[in-house]
Homo-oligomer: A and B are copies of this chain.
Amino acid sequence: MSAAATPATGQDRLWSVDEHLQDILAAVRPLDPIELQLLDALGCVLVDDVTVPVSLPPFDNSSMDGYAVRVADVAGASEEFPAVLTVIGDVAAGAADPLRVGPGQAARIMTGAPLPPGAEAVVPVEWTDGGLGGGPVSGMRARSLAPEGASGEVRVHRPAEAGAHVRAKGSDVQAGELALAAGTVLGPPQIALLAAIGRGAVRVRPRPRVVVLSTGSELVQPDEELADGQIYDSNSFALTAAARDAGAIGYRVGAVADDADTLRSTIEDQLVRADLMVTTGGVSVGAYDVVKEALTAVGDPDEEGGGVEFRKLAMQPGKPQGFGSVGPARTPLLALPGNPVSSYVSFELFVRPVIRTMMGLEDVHRPRTRAVLQADKALTSPAGRRQFLRGRYADGTVTPVGGAGSHLIAALAQADALIVVPEDDTSVEPGAEVEVVLLG
């Protein structure tokens, strides 16, 4: 589509929100996998099935602090008639050379320590006199303070079956089993399992690097002085934050003035660190909408897939939108409108799914639900446009905040939901059920 406006031949084509989203998602692919250290892979999607190389636990081990015994030696034991066993030493967790437990013997054993040869069960220390010759004890004295606990005699007050308080080798997971399937999102428990089977790094889809730049000669950096006709740049902050919130690595580029050459060279400079470029502003029908002007030249329109197409969507806010690719690597670029509410809503609807698709996630959209409209008066919406109003959602109801104006950023900051008014509806009465996009 040409950037230069010409006399209209009736109505320009309006694209639906769904058409635009489909076209975008059809053009975006998950990023190539990379190998990341476990903690860097948190929140990322596993690319390969991971099988278990070594059974968990890797060896029979004690689930309690106590004594490793032979079953026959403690058969019939009671507090009145305890089994008296000779303590041959300690088996601590990580012990390299475990003792051998013979008839009439016991080894003091710690949680996680390998069951020594000869032993068939563990009796918890609370079932014994702890080697002190008195009644039942509640624990062991620290080895460093009471080394004599590893020797002498112990009285066992209760019998134990074979395997009691023993975690059998492979009882958690067996070598060769599937640990995690490709496509799994790695949260803390999945990280735990990968570490437990000895995987220090995994192949995942990386977090996309998203470069956000706002355009507009009127934009001033926060904390600076406003001159006449100027406003503060908020879009680059909001969208960088939103990109990070969506799981991306967000880079914010300061606002670029409305000059096509400057914009073009800024974009070219940024491409090196971008898996996705997002611009705001300069996409409408004005004479200074330089994003349109600049972007047709960054991509090579002669080659398939290059260039950015600008469209009008049947949507409010967010009517003017651009999408395409730029640079030699055909880096995807979304050109969003410049009004703060328009750009934020556009981000939620179009950019967030792109980021999550690049991450390899299956669930790329914000959750939606239905809610009962709570309002003093009917909502109005232009015919033929899908409207996204800001609202607060609670317990199955949604209450509009602020009006429809795409500059109403204060109300946006009070919202946690978007109220969707379909294309065919020009009015929604209080008490009606509406579709709601949950932003939280």
**Which of A's residues lie within 8 Å of B, judged by CB?**
3-8, 12, 38-39, 42-43, 52, 54, 56-59, 63, 65, 90, 92-96, 98, 108, 110-114, 125-126, 130, 132, 134-146, 149-150, 167, 171-173, 177, 179-180, 187-201, 216-219, 221-224, 226-242, 244-245, 250, 252, 257-258, 260, 284-290, 292-293, 338-340, 344, 405-413, 415, 439
| Cβ-defined contact, A93 with B5, below 8 A | no
7 nearest A-B residue pairs (beta carbon): A139-B285, A5-B139, A94-B218, A192-B238, A94-B217, A65-B286, A200-B223
Shortest C-beta distance, A243 to chain B (Å), equals 9
A65 contact set on B, CB distance < 8 A: 284-287, 289
**B192 near A94: Cβ-Cβ < 8 Å:** no
Q: Is the CB of A240 within 8 A of B39?
A: yes
Does A192 lie within 8 Å of B235, measured CB to CB?
yes
Q: Which of B42, B196, B198, B241 contacts A223 (CB 8 A)?
A: B198
CB distance A137 to B8 under 8 Å?
yes
Instruction: Using CB atoms, name the residue of chain B closest to A147.
Output: B287
**Chain B contacts for A235, CB-based, 8 A:** 192
Residues in B with CB closer than 8 Å to A98 are 229
Nearest-CB distance from A434 to chain B (Å)? 20
Are B141 and A287 in touch, CB under 8 angstroms?
A: yes
Complex interface: chain B residues within 8 A of A412 (CB): 189, 192-193
Contact A187/B232 with A195-B238, A198-B226 known, Cβ cut-off 8 Å: no
Report the bound CA distance from A242 to B57 in whole Å: 23
Given A284-B65, A413-B179, CB of A244 within 8 Å of CB of B167: no
Chain B neighbourhood of A141, CB < 8 A: 4-6, 287
Residues of chain B within 8 A (CB-CB) of A224 are 198
**Contacting residues, chain B, for A150 (C-beta < 8 A):** 287
Q: Is the CB of A217 within 8 A of B42?
A: no
Contact A407 B172 (CB under 8 A): yes
Are the CB atoms of B179 and A231 closer together than 8 Å? Answer: no
Please give 13 more A-B residue pairs, beta carbons under 8 A apart, in addition to A43-B245, A98-B229, A173-B409: A5-B137, A8-B138, A58-B230, A59-B228, A90-B288, A93-B288, A110-B289, A112-B218, A143-B287, A143-B288, A150-B287, A172-B410, A192-B238
Min CB distance A289 to B, Å, is 7
**Does the CB pair A218–B113 fall under 8 Å?**
yes
